[in-house]
Amino acid sequence: MSTAKGPALNPSTGKFRKRHIGLIVYFVFLLLPIYWLIAMSVRPNQ
């Protein structure tokens, strides 16, 4: 069921909106340090 126009918890899934870019940027900020640390920890010495 759709909700009022524009509320954030609008369950009209599937559509890519501008605000999702912000969410993706936040997830990059969140996950990059963890990914980088794991990647560094499994890299063999050269």
Partner 1 sequence: MDKRPYDNKAWLLVLPVFLIVAISAIIPLMTVVNYSVQDVLGPFQRVFVGTEWFEQVLNDGRLHGAFLRQMVFSGCVLLIQIPLGIAVALTMPVKGWQSSLCLVLVALPLLIPWNVVGTIWQLYARPDIGLAGVAINSLGIPYNYTSSAFDAWLTVLIMDVWHWTPLVILLCYAGLRSIPEAFYQAAKIDGASAWAVFRYIQLPKMRRVLTIAILLRFMDSFMIYTEPFVLTGGGPGNATTFLSQFLAQIAVGQFDLGPAAAFSLIYFLVILLLSWIFYTYITHTDREDAR
7/32 Cα distance (integer angstroms): 29
CB of 16 to partner 1, least distance (A): 12
Binding residues for partner 1, rule: CB under 8 A, are: 1, 3-11, 13, 19-20, 22-23, 26-27, 29-34, 36-37, 40
Sign for the CA dihedral angle at 20, 5, 10, 12 comes to: negative
21/28 Cα distance (integer angstroms): 11
CB of 45 to partner 1, least distance (A): 13
CB of 1 to partner 1, least distance (A): 7
